[in-house]
A and B are shown apart, each in its own frame.
Chain A
Amino acid sequence: MFVDTVVEDKALHKPAFLFGLSIAVLAIFFTFNFTNTIFGEFLSPVIGNPEKSGFFGRLAVSFVLTILFVANLLLISFARLKIQILIVWIELFLLFLAFAYSFDLEIAYIFSGQPSKIGLMISKGLFTTIYISAVSILIATAIAIVGAIAKLSNNGFAYAIASFYTSLFRGLPLLLQIYLIYMGLPQLGFMIDAIPSGIAALSLCYGAYMTEIFRAGIQSIPKGQWEASRALGFPFGLILRKIILPQSIPLIIPPTGNQFIAMLKDSSLVSVLGIWEIMFLAKKLGAKDFNHLEMLLTAAMIYWLLTIILEMIQARIERKYQQKT
């Protein structure tokens, strides 16, 4: 984003804003009543038994929380930008952990067993999830190239088929597509197993989205490139292969990376076919001893971590292409 060269005073450093913010925060803490939490216990020397502290207790707890919150903001505001970002990240993450901790979970369950539950999810589920996503994104890319060309062509059949395809597969919920392919195709005599079904559904669905990305990528190459190639006597296929696609790729890669990240998470839907990927194992391993949330949280963490890694890889690829052009 464009940052202007004129610096304004930070809002947090204006007393009026600080006062208003404090009032608002106080109101929120008061409304949600944290008296019966760990904070109330912490203040019990002042307010006595939290449960019986009444209005005074509630107000005191809210007041202390407000001061902590606003002081925290104020302190962070003095730090340098990078430090600010780091601190806020860490604090939000700790809040998330506190949120999970408040479920009263048996965290040790995740690491129980030999091999541990989390070990099982990684050794069996993670591989399957990545394998399904990677194969699907490759097939989807191939579909998208063909689909984009068909959508840009003057051939009525090609255009009609491609636009029907994108319309249908963008218009149906992915879960429905998975069921249709798994249960519907065998009725036609095409017997496909669970994993190929899942891959087919993911490829077709994301192929439809990526067709639009590729189409836009190809279309954004200036007309002059086509004209110059045409004027040199290049045939169509050569222009596409050597001139247009190489220039479209830097434009296509960032949204394709986003699609891959989205697909990685949507691959959890194929768990309904009994494929032992992360989501399936999370549900079933938790079901055995009624520790559902523990395993779901584990799956959440694995997905999140995977996404962060993929985002880093994507940023690196983007940087590489930016340098080149």
Chain B
Amino acid sequence: MSIKLGFKKSSIAFTALLLSIGMTAQAGVVYDYIKNNNELMIATDANWAPFSYINDAGEMEGFDVDVGREIAKRMGVEARFITPDWGVITAGNWNMRWDVSVGSMTPTEGRSKVLNFPAVYYYTPAAFAVHTDSPVTTLAGLNGKNICTTASSTWEMYLEGSLDMLNAPAFTYKVTPGTITALADGHTCLDDTRLGAGVRNDGIIDSVPMIQGAIEDGYPIKFLGDPAFYEPLSVATDKGNSDAELDAEIARIILEMQKDYTLTSLSMKWFKNADGSSNDYTVAY
């Protein structure tokens, strides 16, 4: 018994649904599907240069995109990218709309209820930034102030003091904000900061490469203090359709890419500083 709606993967999704109702995650279903279809469907938000974004030719590009392509290549299948909103990806229950997320997702306690994290592939530092005219000079100076960041991100969790990262380097909460302004699109925070110190927010927290990009683009902002924490960033798969074989394969490929320095060279390619030097974010500090 299966319902054919004429949409891709519907019957498989239905089978998978029956399985998940029975609470029996069957190894190999998703991976077999990828192999049979010769296509790895990769979800990644297109909002984040240099991680994943739409280039001038109208195609997906960036560090995450390259990593995703490499994973597909080593599986021996084609890569295909789709670009749902970040919130839709982190909500889980993908129902086989796509197979994996290669989108710089930090494994957390909460997310692990709906997602599996088979392999961490790099670490990025998260840092605070303020307007160049800001009177605030130390991280402690941001206590009680209005901090802006992306909604349902690890940065928001950090501000709330509820960051439950898995397998992460140790960190401490250095700032206790008075108000958290959480916006669906974190870019708006940067634009708000540009309006002036204290106009719409007193500061932001975001990933270092992101803030770096904004500064290079002429935004009147500056880093404040050292990075607040390093977050591990992982490939994610759907817990609703757990496939141990797929997870093992991803873990194997990422380990291989670490060993042959593919990840390092990709990091050096995409994460450049203003002075032209490159960053290797593939090891935790």
- B88 engages A274 (CB within 8 Å): yes
- B10 engages A290 (CB within 8 Å): no
- B84 engages A194 (CB within 8 Å): yes
**Cβ–Cβ < 8 Å partners of B190 in chain A:** 290
B47 to chain A, nearest CB (A): 5
> Closest residue of chain A to B3, judged by CB?
A189
Given contacts A190-B3, A191-B14, A287-B187, contact A120 B96 (CB under 8 A): no
- B7 engages A284 (CB within 8 Å): no
- A191 engages B217 (CB within 8 Å): no
**Cβ–Cβ < 8 Å partners of B283 in chain A:** none
- Distance, CA A182 to CA B47, complexed state (A): 20
- A283 engages B97 (CB within 8 Å): no
**Cβ–Cβ < 8 Å partners of A281 in chain B:** 54
- A287 engages B48 (CB within 8 Å): yes
**Cβ–Cβ < 8 Å partners of B17 in chain A:** 186-187, 189
- B96 engages A191 (CB within 8 Å): yes
> Closest residue of chain B to A182, judged by CB?
B88
- A290 engages B187 (CB within 8 Å): yes
A242: interface (CB < 8 Å): no
**Cβ–Cβ < 8 Å partners of B270 in chain A:** none
A172 to chain B, nearest CB (A): 18
- B93 engages A115 (CB within 8 Å): no
- A189 engages B14 (CB within 8 Å): yes
For B53, give its contact among A186, A273, A284 (CB under 8 Å).
Answer: A284
- A288 engages B54 (CB within 8 Å): yes
A183: interface (CB < 8 Å): yes
Given contacts A113-B56, A288-B54, contact A191 B7 (CB under 8 A): yes
**Cβ–Cβ < 8 Å partners of A293 in chain B:** 191
> Closest residue of chain B to A285, judged by CB?
B54
- A115 engages B56 (CB within 8 Å): yes
**Cβ–Cβ < 8 Å partners of A193 in chain B:** 7-8, 97
- A274 engages B7 (CB within 8 Å): no
> Closest residue of chain A to B92, judged by CB?
A183
A246: interface (CB < 8 Å): no
**Cβ–Cβ < 8 Å partners of B97 in chain A:** 186, 191, 193-194
- Distance, CA A194 to CA B81, complexed state (A): 13
A196: interface (CB < 8 Å): yes
B92-116 interface code vs A (CB 8 A; 1 in, 0 out): 0101110000000000000000000
A115 to chain B, nearest CB (A): 7
B13: interface (CB < 8 Å): yes
Given contacts A182-B88, A273-B85, contact A192 B7 (CB under 8 A): yes
- B88 engages A183 (CB within 8 Å): yes
In residues 256-308 of chain A, which contact B (Cβ within 8 Å)? 272-274, 276, 280-281, 283-290, 292-293
B241 to chain A, nearest CB (A): 11
Given contacts A191-B14, A192-B7, A276-B83, contact A186 B93 (CB under 8 A): yes
* Inter-chain pairs besides A186-B93, A192-B10, A284-B83, 8 sampled, C-beta below 8 Å: A115-B57, A191-B10, A193-B7, A273-B88, A274-B88, A284-B53, A287-B47, A289-B49
**Can you list the 8 inter-chain pairs with the closest CB atoms, starting with the nearest?**
A113-B56, A186-B95, A274-B84, A274-B83, A191-B13, A191-B10, A288-B49, A288-B53
